[in-house]
């Protein structure tokens, strides 16, 4: 298992980690298989979406704030229940397919670390299994 470190700068932020993820996976020399990316945090997620136009990331963050606002009824005392909800909505693991030594992403897809309670220093776990 490999680890990546991600430093986030804002409370809510999508950070493109496609390049470091590709570098780690391709260094393992697996020709065909699958990869699991795992986020070991409860106020963050991993997601795949458009990596070309940064306004897409901004629009996703905007919409997630509408979907999961900070309700006055929340009982958790840390003021980040909205972040926990977002974490479960987007999920903390991702699957990638490896073919001919490369990650099979679509033309516009990038892999994003989704921070919902930053800024923090975060980790991503990477495990690869051969087909």
Q: Does 101 bind a second copy (CB under 8 A)?
A: no
Contact 11, 115 (CB under 8 A): yes
SS3 110: strand
Q: Does 60 bind a second copy (CB under 8 A)?
A: yes
Q: Does 19 bind a second copy (CB under 8 A)?
A: no
SS3 64: helix
Q: Does 96 bind a second copy (CB under 8 A)?
A: yes
Toward a second copy, which CB reaches closer, 4 or 109?
109
Q: Exposure pattern of 71-105 as b/e (b: 16+ CB <10 Å)?
A: eeeeeeeeebbbbbbbbeebebebebebeeeebeb
Question: Least distance (Å) from a second copy to the CB of residue 100?
Answer: 9
Question: How far is Cα 78 from Cα 21, in angstroms, rounded to an integer?
Answer: 31
Question: Least distance (Å) from a second copy to the CB of residue 36?
Answer: 5
Q: Does 120 bind a second copy (CB under 8 A)?
A: no
Binding positions for a second copy, rule: CB under 8 A: 1, 32-34, 36, 38-42, 47-50, 53, 55-56, 58-60, 62-64, 66-68, 71, 73-77, 81-82, 84-85, 87-99, 104-109, 125, 127-131
């Amino acid at each position: 298992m490999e680890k990546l470190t991600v430093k986030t700068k804002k409370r809510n932020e999508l950070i493109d980690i496609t390049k470091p993820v590709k570098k780690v996976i391709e260094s393992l020399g697996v020709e065909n298989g699958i990869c699991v990316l795992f986020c070991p945090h409860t106020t963050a997620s991993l997601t795949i979406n458009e990596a070309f136009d940064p306004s897409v990331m901004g629009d996703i963050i905007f919409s997630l704030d509408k979907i999961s606002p900070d309700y006055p009824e929340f009982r958790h005392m840390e003021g980040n229940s909205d972040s926990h909800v977002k974490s479960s909505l987007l999920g903390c693991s991702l699957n990638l397919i490896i073919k001919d030594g490369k990650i099979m992403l679509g033309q516009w897809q990038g892999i994003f670390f989704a921070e919902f309670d930053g800024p923090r220093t975060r980790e991503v776990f990477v495990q690869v299994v051969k087909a």
